Amino acid sequence: MKRRAPLPELLSPAGSLDAVFAAVNAGADAVYFGGKKLNARTFARNLDDGEIARAILYCHLHGAKAYITLNTLLSERELNDAVRRAEELREAGADALIVADAGLIARLSELFPDLPIHASTQASAHSTEGCDLLARLGAKRVVLARELPLSEIVSVTENAAAETEIFLHGALCVCHSGQCLFSSLVGGRSGNRGACAQPCRLPYDGSEKLSLRDLCLAPHIPALIASGVASLKIEGRMKSPGYVFGVTKIYRRLLDEGRAATPEEVAELGRIFSRGGFTDGYLTGKTGRGMLGVRSAADKANSRETNDAAPIPPIPVPVSLACKILPGAPATLSLSAAGRTVTVSGATPEKAKSAPLDAAGLAVRLAKLGGTFFTADPEKIRIDLAPDLNLSPGAVNELRRAAVSAWEAGEKRAPLPCPTAKTERPFPSAPLFSVFCRTAEQLDAIAPLLPADAETYLPAWEKIGTTAPTGVSFPAVVFDGERGEIVGTATAARERGITRALVHNVGQIALAGSLGFAAIGSQRLNIANRRAAAALAKEGLSDAILSPELPLPAAAAVGGRILAYGHIPLMLTERCFIRDNFGCEKCGRAAFSDRTGAKFPLIREYPHRNQILNGVPTYLGDKQGDLAAAGLRRLHLFFSVESPAEAKKVLLRFLAGEPLDGAIRRLPRTF
């Protein structure tokens, strides 16, 4: 959906109230920030409830919008709390909520139709069909994946049912957003829960092979304006107010003048913050070594002045005041600001015994608006004061405070009912065994051992061997421009009688259904609560593998398939690290090693994307009794880097309920 406004919105980050002031003062059209819980930047300072109220008020007074993040995955027990929190933020006057969890998007759109929902980039939307599904769930805007080139941004923006937002500037994740489990499964700190430990910034094989330079699209402003996107987003809720002010100010100027940045302006952005320079590799499709960068000593020195700058104070808004004090009637005060006027009543004046009120003194007292975002010129306050009357200083102060409070209250919404709801498990519960094999040779090796009713999946582009699979696996990512080739490959599989498709993105659910497949969701859908499962089931999802971040009780509360064996994919990268670091001849045999010597295999994903796998496999074969007792009897195995013989050995152990040799990973203890 192309925007109607001449310019896209400039959306700036804030991790503190001072950063909100900085963003608005520098010219942001909107500011996004999070509270103390349920946002994807747990380690930012974030805002408490009182600061959120002041932030919303300050934005509105200056004509900016306030978007608040609730963009983490949610367990079943957290969903109702998240809904209640959303209602509090709605009532406080938030202009939109940024949400990642499909279940929460659907629930909020049902309960609060007057509260716009923006689907976070954590929702992994990279296609028109993905945006359309999120729009059907209730999202008015979708934050597109950072990895899209300009042609794909234009395609989605022109064709999607929701308006689009893209990242303009700031830190880049090397993994597709919402698809990174590295910090969670290896370090115990979930990026999808806002606690990322940034393993991509660490060295592998002696250098920072995964650390990307910051994004900078300042040279592409005319093309971004022409693209039709509704909003351009600056990343940086962990950054200082000085960073927010400096970056926002430059982009405000570029957008207003409709031009690309000069080399001097790009250099100024680099002095504010840089990782060895900037990259526009995703937008331009040049995803090579030039995207890599680390923070040098010189970068840190250049940024120090910005980071150490004095706080940027709020700019008070001039208000109009009109006071009426007449005999026998309560005193009144009208306050006008930002196109809205309120009038309040106070105490009734008394006949003066000695020194009556005078208009000048009354105006001075009414103009004492310190501690608010308002300012008034005493000489411009309209006073209608009858002679020989008196009103105590306390009564005058209370009248002023009441007018300010009444105006601020007008920024809030009336409360709406916020009922709790319990959703039944939408997926089947009968026992099931399913297996993904990356190669036909793996499937041929294990097929004779599998139960007769087992589901088997091969990549849609993999040539079938002796054993025909019962399902195909779509690529993890399918841009609009890649759709035609995937449709052709999948259609050929459907004509061979294959009836199921393993889908990895919300956009692929409708695609699979349109081709006649039953859509089975992989762990990449990040399903962590029943509401998310039900929302996607309503869109055509037949069954799904739950998020591997869920501990046993949380998984049992949702129901679905459990990833019971596999080197779980930790990252999905747009760039081919195999080609750049090992050469194409090592495809299928490449691995990174971290500082401890732990290895992380890399495998190719369609067409030349990469998956970085956990070197330690998850294994629950000897825990099937515990899983069954919890009602989890639908088990999925994921074979990737194993040789056919190794896959066969694992399967034999699994079917026998025996332990696996070597290091293994279990389900996490907490979520």
End position of a domain, from candidates 307, 336, 358: 307
The answer to whether residue 44 scores a pLDDT higher than 80 is: no
Closest CA to 27 of 66, 62, 67, 68: 62
Question: Which residue has 């990322």 as its token pair?
Answer: 196
Q: 247 and 331 in one domain?
A: no
Cα–Cα distance measured from residue 122 to residue 139, given in angstroms and rounded to the nearest whole number: 13
Is 313 contained in some domain? no
CA 547 to chain centre: 17
**For residue 121, what pLDDT is reported?**
97
Q: 301 and 338 in one domain?
A: no
Is 545 contained in some domain? yes
Give the type of residue at 280: D
Q: 58 and 101 in one domain?
A: yes
Q: Where are the beta strands (DSSP E) in 400-470?
A: 432-437, 455-459
The answer to whether residue 322 scores a pLDDT higher than 90 is: yes
Q: 512 and 453 in one domain?
A: yes
Residue 329 is part of which domain span?
A: 319-409
Number of separate domains in the chain: 3
Give the type of residue at 198: Q
Cα–Cα distance measured from residue 238 to residue 90, given in angstroms and rounded to the nearest whole number: 24
Q: 397 and 485 in one domain?
A: no
Is 420 contained in some domain? no
**For residue 310, what pLDDT is reported?**
83
**For residue 304, what pLDDT is reported?**
87
pLDDT in tens, 547-582: 999 999 999 999 999 999 999 999 999 999 999 999
Q: 234 and 131 in one domain?
A: yes
Is 661 contained in some domain? no
Cα–Cα distance measured from residue 385 to residue 23, given in angstroms and rounded to the nearest whole number: 42
pLDDT in tens, 509-524: 999 999 999 999 999 9
Supply the pTM of this predicted model. Answer: 0.96
End position of a domain, from candidates 307, 328, 346: 307
Q: 69 and 216 in one domain?
A: yes
**For residue 355, what pLDDT is reported?**
87
Cα–Cα distance measured from residue 378 to residue 367, given in angstroms and rounded to the nearest whole number: 6
Residue 390 phi, psi dihedral angles, 5° rounding: -140, 145
Is 652 in contact with 449 (CB distance < 8 Å)? yes
Question: Which residue has 């190719």 as its token pair?
Answer: 604
**For residue 9, what pLDDT is reported?**
98
Give 117-180 as a DSSP string.
Answer: EEE-GGG---SHHHHHHHHHHT-SEEE--TT--HHHHHHHHHH-SSEEEEEEEE---SBPTT--
Question: No. of H helices and E strands in the chain?
Answer: 22, 31
Q: 332 and 273 in one domain?
A: no
CATH of the domain at 630: 3.20.20.380
Is 110 contained in some domain? yes
Cα–Cα distance measured from residue 282 to residue 304, given in angstroms and rounded to the nearest whole number: 29
Is 669 contained in some domain? no
Residue 466: both structure tokens together: 């002796």
The answer to whether residue 41 scores a pLDDT higher than 80 is: no
Q: At what angle do helices 150-159 and 128-137 cross, to 10 degrees?
A: 40
Q: 480 and 349 in one domain?
A: no
Cα–Cα distance measured from residue 526 to residue 544, given in angstroms and rounded to the nearest whole number: 10
Closest CA to 533 of 173, 101, 40: 101
Is 371 in contact with 358 (CB distance < 8 Å)? no
Indicate the pLDDT class of residue 279, thresholds 50, 70 and 90. Answer: very high
Cα–Cα distance measured from residue 653 to residue 622, given in angstroms and rounded to the nearest whole number: 8
Indicate the pLDDT class of residue 305, thresholds 50, 70 and 90. Answer: confident
The answer to whether residue 40 scores a pLDDT higher than 70 is: no
The answer to whether residue 640 scores a pLDDT higher than 80 is: yes
Is 18 contained in some domain? yes
Classify 483 as helix, strand or coil. Answer: helix
Q: 531 and 500 in one domain?
A: yes
End position of a domain, from candidates 250, 280, 307: 307
Indicate the pLDDT class of residue 671, thresholds 50, 70 and 90. Answer: confident
Is 475 contained in some domain? yes
Widest distance between CA atoms in the chain: 107
* Per-residue DSSP letter, 568: -
Q: What percent of the chain has pLDDT over 90?
A: 95
Q: 323 and 285 in one domain?
A: no
pLDDT in tens, 475-529: 999 999 999 999 999 999 999 999 999 999 999 999 999 999 999 999 999 999 9
Q: 148 and 66 in one domain?
A: yes
